[in-house]
Structure 1
Amino acid sequence: MSSLSLQKKSYSALWFVIVSVLLILHNQVFFPAAVDAKSNVYIVYMGERQHGNLDLITDGHHGMLSEVLGSDEASVESMVYSYKHGFSGFAAKLTEAQAQMFAELPDVVQVIPNRLHKLQTTRSWDYLGLPLDSPTSLLHETKMGDGTIIGLLDTGIWPESEVFSEKGLGPIPSRWNGVCESGELFHGAKACNRKLIGARYLIKGLEAEIGQPFNTTENPDYLSPRDWLGHGTHTSTIAGGSSVHNVSYNGLGLGTVRGGAPRARLAMYKVCWNLYGGVCADADIFKGIDEAIHDGVDVLSLSISSDIPLFSHVDQHDGISIASFHAVVRGIPVVSAAGNSGPSAETVSNTAPWIITVAASTMDRLFATHITLGNNQTITGEAVYLGKDTGFTNLAYPEVSDLLAPRYCESLLPNDTFAAGNVVLCFTSDSSHIAAESVKKAGGLGVIVASNVKNDLSSCSQNFPCIQVSNEIGARILDYIRSTRHPQVRLSPSRTHLGNPVPTKVASFSSRGPSSIAPAILKPDIAGPGFQILGAEPSFVPTSTKYYLMSGTSMATPHVSGAVALLRALNREWSPAAIKSAIVTTAWTTDPSGEPVFAEGQPMKLADPFDFGGGILNPNGAGNPGLVYDMGKDDYILYLCAMGYNNSAIAKVTGRPTSCPCNRPSILDVNLPSITIPNLQYSVSLTRSVTNVGAVDSEYNAVIDPPPGVNIKLEPDGLVFNSKIRTITFRVMVSSARRVSTGFSFGSLAWSDGEHAVRIPISVRSDFTIP
């Protein structure tokens, strides 16, 4: 008998002993689960793998299942995935009792329910300072990201799109270990090329959760890496699409579509499917990240987020957070969406400190639509109206109670006479396209939607005027209606307007901080363009539109992923934390024209760190940050200790013995490029360390902008680097100038050497209610 066979038998026997002892200790006599017991998919997460024998890892997983379920046959039937590349664990169909049994086994870190996650560009890269024709930008310094590999977990990809052309690209990087998997209408050998170098599809976790094979008749999709929903094709365009000139959305936004790293290679992991509008199962996400680690990606981009996190246990049960940890400690930055649940506070998802969490902003492009009132006053709204000039026509407003007005237009019925023959002004708290469809069905000729919550314009019909204005402008139009007996309006087709005075704002839908899980960890980290972004989409028929406008933190995320790919190409030795620090500390806190950034909502306000983290993505600045707040595995262990994880669990997660200090460390000391103090009483002291990545001999002085009512002192307040001193630790003393509880207030700390301003945001809330 081979030594490998002996290993397998001894491994299985060991698990039999462990499980048997646990059953005896719990006074249980084991019988296989009854056939009518409810089973769901659970992820049995075992932390860092203990060795590199992949077959033996999988055999061990089956051995565990066999002992708990009673037979090898039951194990094979139950098993969904074995995770063995980046970490150890498996997904399986289990009853609640069986899941609890696994949770009590000594080698299991966590048993995680298989949650379902939601899916959450011609101008944007020029706006971010990376025009194609600039010889001095980060884009050209990195040869447009040539050689880097961006992995995307999404809805698949449409490989025939021009943005995935391999023209001008060299050989596939030799370190690539991935595959191009064939499936429905997707022949791997033909679909992939030197641009799209890998594609997989992962659906077993979703199918096991719903208890049946995925029905593509009821829910149209392709059982292959091919994209049906268009989301993955769009995000791939933004992150690393090749340049395609003279692209527009039916004439709007004309320019060159390309990704942030146009010469990067792409690998698609299809983990999201056309069910309930687009869902992604934790078990499939785990497998996608596990395979991506094996395949050799340089960056992982996940335009995926969960529902609003309301409880602290989400951190332990969050598949994205746990799986991404293993990517990050292997040097792979993970970029993920903050979510689309804004503008309410504490709605941000993907809150682990090792993830780069992305909010969505608008940019300096406006699809301007002129609204001319009967008194010849012209107002500019936003729309993607491609029809003819309406000429002057009647303008109406539903004079109903204030309580009914925000929903009146949405509730119009086709036989309502109010809208017929009129352009209707609506104040709404809902989506613009719902109001537009209701007015259109009721015989209206157009709709002006007043709201401070901006919606995706492309959801409205292109040939039916559906124009968005702010509540303030809506009030001006209403004053006109009420001041004249026969109000009239003329609506003009939309035109593209670029640059100043179009202001940058944090989009209303973008999820906001603080984190509900760990309020001392600032989230989101950064904001990128995520409103009305033009990208490729599936072309189901030759005459279909090849490019489409989409909005969301899903679109903002690949902007940051593309910038991260450029930074990986520039500095292969930088850690994911160093890259994150470079992005956060160099971000714009005003828009590129120097105007302040506001956050959309009710009411609109100046943006603060809970809206956009460090600020708006500044790729060129991130390429030369001066100093970085670096972190490695030891820093993440500090975070896990501070969050209350025990030594055994941390040791399994990290793959090495761990002993947390007797006195729990402060989460405030995690070396993040931000300082967030959610409950300051009197005073607190914390530390940060910075590493010099600029000129060897450098001197930096502190520039402190304390939050109102807060005093800040530094020791030391100057930093001197040379060939022997590359990293310096400094202490930050924070005290409250007021002895009253307050909401959060905001400031910043910057280290300046005359060339760099290494700025981190500071958020402080005084709380004197705690005994």
Structure 2
Amino acid sequence: MVYSYKHGFSGFAAKLTESQAQQLAELPGVVHVIPNSLHKLQTTRSWDFLGLSPQSPNNILHNSKMGDGVIIGVFDTGIWPESKSFGDDGLGPVPSRWKGICISGDKFNATTNCNKKIIGARSYIDGFLAEYGQPLNSSRDREYLSPRDANGHGTHTASTAGGSFVGNVSFRGLATGTVRGGAPRARLAIYKVCWNILGGQCAAADMLKAFDDAIHDGVDVLSLSIGSSIPLFSDVDERDGIATGSFHAVARGIAVVCGAANDGPSAYTVHNTAPWILSVAASTTDRAFPTPITLGNNKTLLGQALFTGKEIDFTGLVYPESTGLDSTAGSCEALKLDKTSVAGNVVLCFTSMARQISFIASTVVQEAGGVGLIVAKHPRDILTSCVADFPCIEVDYEIGTQILFYIRSTGNPLVKLSPTKTIVGMPVSPKVAYFSSRGPSSIAPAILKI
């Protein structure tokens, strides 16, 4: 026996052979026997952009008392309780209806790490270990056998939902402001169901046990940034642990909010499509991080970056394909660099790939002695993956092409790269982020779900 489910629904999780599972399925009173399965993991400005400013006295933030009295359950990789986002200054007693607990474990002390903000913390691993096939080794697997977060994803999602006010926050001087969650006075109940192994995995058996406990504990809302692995199931049925557990939670008045996933931009990639789940996509905001690129002809173009280092004064600008290497040398994902021509210069490359390429390419440029990188990509609105102390600036294809034409128009192309600035209030409408999953639902395409 791995788990017994008894609060929100009746059932259990056990290690069975295929034959034993078949025999059990044929017994009267057994509704379903389903296999365990693994699921995967999916700011200072966002809430102001949505109109939830503390300075506006008549908005939903104030009308709801900033979430005071609400208990948010978070299914994820756990929590780093020392974060200032989880301070309990100004909060009253824990709601008397709360029946949950904090459980101590590896580097997590229930007495000191739980407070009037983090009012519950549990971890669930038995279902995952049944699939992983070996005991967890904290050193090898870089994990904690406790509610402590070894990944950072759970700490991020918990603070996004219910983090307390923390002033004067920035990323190396960029995006300065007050960070907070959507309901900054809400309480948090942490259910660690995902583990920092195999890229971040969450077992259905563990999540079902967490749903069962959360129903008993008295949460008001459940937040899950978790989804099935692609390909998605063709049906919302008993194989979908999130759909099953959330159904029982919603039936008891608990709202369940899930991420729509980050498998875009193709259609039919939206996760968590059960009609009783509120699926939430990622979108752009009105904040930008413009980074000036000044060419040797004194033309200045703007890219996006998180560059906080010193200005790179006019230096050489190189497009690898122009250095005599093959025609693919200017591709960011397959950079071929002549160290003699790159050393001390800025490199331009092009990519059609959305994720992580900028980080990988910037590493290659640094190793070749380059002092900066300009990445021309489509689309540009995806989050940058560049490091902040190396000038790695992302531009769209149009600007990238202008830079390439400049390189080819002169025998001595030069460029200056200036540090990034923060701008808010950009006159743009929000749109679904490029990486966010899209509908329609693969289950019922005629019904919009995102």
- Residues 300, 412 of structure 1: CA spacing in aligned structure 2 closer, same or farther, 3 A cutoff? same
For residues 23-54 of structure 1, the C-alpha deviation after alignment (integer angstroms, 9 at most, x for no partner) is xxxxxxxxxxxxxxxxxxxxxxxxxxxxxxxx
Change in CA separation of 1:311 and 1:180 when aligned onto 2, cut-off 3 Å: closer
Q: Which position in structure 2 is the counterpart of 1:499?
A: 425
Task: Name the structure 1 match of 2:87.
Answer: 165
Q: Which residue of the partner structure matches residue 407 of structure 2?
A: 481
Is the aligned partner of 1:424 residue 2:359? no
* Bigger shift: residues 169-178 or 467-476: 467-476
> What amino acid is the match of 1:499?
G
CA shift, 1:509, in A, is 0.9
In 1, Cα distance between the equivalents of 2:362 and 2:431?
24
How much has 1:455 moved relative to structure 2? 4.0
Q: 2:426 and 2:72 mapped to 1: Cα distance?
A: 33
- Aligned position for 1:312: 234
Give how far 1:178 is off. 0.2
1:614 alignment counterpart: none
> Could you tell me how far 1:245 is from its partner in structure 2?
0.7
Q: Give the Å deviation of 1:344.
A: 0.9
Aligned partner (choices 246, 249, 252) of residue 324 of structure 1: 246
The structure 2 residue matched to 1:137, chosen from 45, 59, 68, is 59
| Counterparts of 1:115 and 1:473, CA distance in 2 | 45
Structure 2 residue identity aligned to 1:465: P
User: Alpha-carbon deviation of 1:465?
Assistant: 0.8
Which residue of 387, 399, 402 maps to 1:461?
A: 387
Q: Secondary structure at the match of 1:207?
A: helix
C-alpha deviations, 1:390-418, integer Å up to 9, x for none?
011111223389x9649833333677545
**1:277 shift after superposition:** 2.2
Asked whether the 8 Å contact 1:122–1:257 carries over to 2, the reply is: yes
* Aligned-residue offset at 1:503: 5.1
The Cα offsets for residues 697-751 of structure 1, whole Å up to 9 and x where unpaired, read as: xxxxxxxxxxxxxxxxxxxxxxxxxxxxxxxxxxxxxxxxxxxxxxxxxxxxxxx
Matched, 1:434 2:348: no
**2:197 aligned partner:** 275
Shift of 1:82: 0.9
CA contact under 8 A between 1:424 and 1:448: conserved in structure 2?
Answer: yes
Contact 1:150/1:298 (8 A) holds in 2: yes
Aligned length: 444
CA contact (8 A) 1:406 1:428 kept: no
Where 1:111 maps in the other structure, the secondary structure is: coil
For residue 226 of structure 2, what is the amino acid of its counterpart?
Answer: I
Deviations 1:217-258 (A, max 9, x none): 111111111111111111111111110111111111100011
- Contact 2:317–2:346 at 8 Å: present in 1 too? yes
CA distance in 2 between partners of 1:523 and 1:417 (Å): 53
Paired residue type of 2:40: K
Deviation at 1:282, TM superposition (A): 1.0
Does structure 2 retain, via aligned residues, the 8 Å contact 1:244–1:258?
yes
Instruction: Give the aligned residue type for 1:116.
Output: L
CA drift at 1:379: 1.3
For residues 364 and 327 of structure 2, the distance between their equivalents in structure 1, rounded to whole angstroms, comes to 15
Contact 1:315 1:352 in 2 (8 A): no
Give the 3 Å change call, closer, same or farther, for CA 488–107 of structure 1 in structure 2: farther
The aligned residue for residue 33 of structure 2 is 111
TM-superposed CA distance for 1:485, in Å, is 2.2
Could you tell me how far apart the structure 1 residues matched to 2:372 and 2:201 are?
34
- Aligned in 2, Cα 1:414/1:189: closer, same or farther, shift over 3 Å? farther
Contiguous gaps of at least 5 residues in structure 1:
1-78, 525-771
CA RMSD of aligned residues (A): 2.0
Partner of 2:140: 218
Cα distance in 1 between the residues matched to 2:382 and 2:173 = 20
- When normalised by structure 1's length, the TM-score is 0.56
CA offsets per residue over residues 603-638 of structure 1, 9 Å max, x none?
A: xxxxxxxxxxxxxxxxxxxxxxxxxxxxxxxxxxxx
1:490 is aligned to 416
Question: Residue in 2 aligned with 1:362?
Answer: 284
Counterpart in the other structure of 1:584: none
What is the match of residue 723 of structure 1? none
Bigger-Rg structure (1/2): 1
* 2:212/2:245 contact within 8 Å kept: yes
Deviation at 1:386, TM superposition (A): 1.0
For the pair 1:443 / 2:369, whether they are aligned, the reply is: yes
Query: 3-state SS of the aligned residue for 2:4?
Result: strand
Q: Which amino acid aligns with 1:496?
A: T
**CA displacement at 1:333 relative to structure 2:** 0.8
2:120 alignment counterpart: 198
Q: Please give the alpha-carbon distance, in whole angstroms, between the structure 2 residues aligned to 1:180 and 1:468.
A: 44
Partners of 1:371 and 1:380 within 8 A in 2: yes
Q: Is 1:309–1:517's contact at 8 Å kept on the other side of the alignment?
A: no
**Structure with the larger RCO, 1 or 2 (CA within 8 Å, 6+ apart):** 2
Displacement of 1:519 in angstroms is 1.7
CA contact (8 A) 2:165 2:179 kept: yes
SS at match of 2:282: strand
- One-letter amino acid of the structure 1 residue matched with residue 331 of structure 2: Y
CA distance in 2: counterparts of 1:145 and 1:110, whole angstroms: 38
The one-character-per-residue Cα deviations of 1:258-314 (angstroms, maximum 9, x if unpaired) are 111111100000011110221111111111111111100000000111222444146
TM-score normalized by structure 2?
Answer: 0.94
Instruction: Judge which range, 108-117 or 325-334, deviates more.
Output: 108-117
The structure-2 alpha-carbon separation of the partners of 1:473 and 1:109, relative to structure 1 and needing over 3 Å to count, comes to farther
**Equivalent residue in structure 2 for 1:520, among 432, 446, 449:** 446
Instruction: Determine the structure 2 residue equivalent to 1:527.
Output: none
Aligned position for 1:245: 167
- Give, as a single letter, the amino acid of the residue that structure 2 aligns with 1:424: V
Which amino acid counterpart does residue 421 of structure 1 have in structure 2? G
Aligned partners of 1:350 and 1:357 also within 8 Å: yes
**Sequence identity (%):** 64
Any idea what the Cα deviations from partners look like across 1:160-196, whole Å, max 9, x if unmatched?
A: 2211111111111111110011111111122111111
Distance 1:364 1:406, change over 3 A: farther
1:175 corresponds in structure 2 to 97
Equivalent position to 2:397, from 434, 457, 471: 471
Q: Which moved more, 1:409-418 or 1:208-217?
A: 409-418
Deviations 1:530-561 (A, max 9, x none): xxxxxxxxxxxxxxxxxxxxxxxxxxxxxxxx
Looking at structure 1, the residues matched to 110 and 369 of structure 2 have their Cα atoms a distance apart, in angstroms, of: 50
Do structure 1's residue 262 and structure 2's residue 184 form an aligned pair? yes
Asked if the contact 1:315–1:517 (Cα under 8 Å) also holds between the matched residues in 2, the reply is: no
Offset at residue 148 of structure 1 (A): 0.4
Aligned to 2:2: 80
- Counterpart of 1:409 in structure 2 is 332
Whichever residue aligns with residue 419 of structure 1, its letter is: V
